[in-house]
Amino acid sequence: MSQLLHRLNALLQSVRDGTTSVEEALERLKHLPYEDLGFAHLDHHRALRQGFPEIVMAQWKTTEQVVQIVQRMAERHSPILVTRSGPEVYEALRAVVEEAVYHPLPRLIVVDRE
C-alpha cells in the first residue's frame, strides 16, 4: 500500500475512533487532491490514479519555485522526480530535503520516500 493510502486509512480510522473530528478531516482532505502555489498546481492524487506522483520539470522555473514545489510534495512523503535540473537546483534542494540524489547525465533529482 502506498504512503498516501496509509495516510488516508489512518485519517479515516482516526475519525472512526473519535480522535479526529469530521471537520478537521475535511479540512485535511480539502488540500489533498490539488494545491495551488500560485505559479504551479500540484496534483497530490496523481499517485492514486497513475501509480506515480507528479514529476517536476525544473526547466523554466526558478530555483526557489522548484524548492517550494519539492518541499510541499515532501511534506506528503511522496517520491519525487525533478527533471531537466542542474547542480544549482540540487544544492538548494539538498539544504531542505536531505534524501535528494542528483544524477547529472540525465539531469534528474530523485527523492525516494517509500
85-100: per-residue pLDDT in tens? Answer: 999 999 999 999 999 9
Spell 31-54 as b/e; 16+ CB within 10 A means b: eeeebeeeeeebebebbeeeeebb
- How much is the pTM? 0.71
Q: Which residues contact 102 (CB under 8 A, 6 or more apart)?
A: 85, 87, 90, 108, 109
**Residue 3: predicted pLDDT:** 66
Instruction: Look at the block and give the residue holding cell 482516526.
Output: 14
Over residues 35-63, the pLDDT tens digits come to 888 899 888 878 777 887 889 999 999 99
Q: How far is CA 58 from the centre of its chain?
A: 15
Structural domain boundaries in the chain: 1-30, 33-111
